[in-house]
Structures are given as C-alpha cells and as structure tokens.
Amino acid sequence: MASLTNLFSELTVGNLTLKNRLTMAPLYLGYAGEGGTVSNLLLDYYRNMAQSGVAMVVVENATVDHPTGSGSSRTIRADTDDNLEGLAQLAATIKQEGPLACLQINHAGRFAVTPEPVAPSSVETFGGMPKALSKKEMRGLVDTFAHAALRVKKAGFDMVELHGGTGYLLAQFVSPRTNKREDEYGGSLENRHRFPLEVVATVKEAVGDYPVGY
C-alpha cells in the first residue's frame, strides 16, 4: 500500500532528516536514579528502544526545576549543569544505535512532588492546594525552561520538546479548569495561551537554529 510505503520513507523536519516516519513517544519510566540521575537501567532501556528501527527516540520528561517542578524523585533532571554529563551519555547511547535523539522537558506544576507546588492558580489538587505563581515567578520559570533547553542542546540531543500536555504546568495555564487568573494570563483563550507561548519564544531565542517541539 502506498500509505505504508510513505511510512518508511525519509522525512525532513527543519534541519533534521528522519530515516522514516516512526518515532518513539516519551513515556515516564521511573528508571532514573534517586534524585533524577541518568542510571545504567535508563541507559539500557533507551539503548534497546533505539535498536527498534524508529527514526527518533523522544526521551521522557526531564524536569527544568528540581524539586519544585519534579513529578517524582526519579524524574530525569535538566535543571543544572551537574546533569550535563549524564544527559550527554543518554543522547550518545541513543544515537550510537542510529536514531535521532530528542529530550522532553517539563515542569509538573501542581503535580510536583514538593511540599509547596506552584500552579497558575490555587486549585485543589488531590487534597492539597498549590501556590498561585506571581508574575515575577513566571518570568523566572520562562528563563528556567530556556536554560534547560540550551542544556539539552549542549548535551548532544538533536531536538528538545516542551511538554505541553497531560495536565502539567504549560497545560495548566491553557485549561480554564486550572487557570482562574484575573490578569493578562487568565480569562480568554488568548490570555491562557500567553505564558506557554512566552516559554516557546524564549526557548527558541535561547537555542537558535535548533528544532523545538511542543
């Protein structure tokens, strides 16, 4: 079938050439070491996935802000240069098997495993109440995403992906259920999009000519 022929044909995305139309989607494993280090178990898993024949492996979410933005103690970290060596090893492990390597970065927002999680608004979450972010804190988080994305590039990944789904911080701003703000970041859909779009713009400025997914 012609459609299946296309499935195994090359695809160009920006300056990247994917050998086929198959990619591995990011999936949280909990295989990172305690505190978010790149463990041997994590390397073994992604090495096996990279041998599957896909054109790109997208690695599960790495936190941009630990512990405030981490969904667990075993979430990969991309928040400091101390994490660069492990991330570089992970990227190289994948690329040695043939596929391109992408790393997803994330802030868990109200789902972070921390005594004082933050969110667009104070909306009850599993019996807890996150702190509503101030505009100053939001500006700081925009830069935090950008620094993490630049770290992904320095580590040797071919692409960075912003985690804009499954109810984490960027999605929390978009949803009217979790965004009750009364300033320019809340209310209309245009306003609720404002913070995620600021993150995208600042990330793209930081990484330059480098693919950014969302």
Residue 63 near residue 97, CB atoms below 8 Å: no
User: Which of 168, 185, 210, 214 is the catalytic position?
Assistant: 168
Q: Is 46 a catalytic residue?
A: no
Q: What are the CB-based long-range contacts (under 8 Å, 24+) for 23-27? A: 23/54, 23/55, 23/56, 23/57, 23/58, 24/49, 24/52, 24/54, 24/56, 24/57, 24/58, 24/99, 25/58, 26/58, 26/59, 26/60, 26/61, 26/104, 26/161, 26/163, 27/60
Q: 38 and 76 in contact (C-beta within 8 Å)?
A: yes
How large is the greatest C-alpha to C-alpha distance in the chain, in angstroms? 55
Residue 190 φ/ψ, nearest 5 degrees:
-60, -45
Check: CB of residue 119 under 8 Å from CB of residue 134: no
Q: Which residues are catalytic?
A: 168
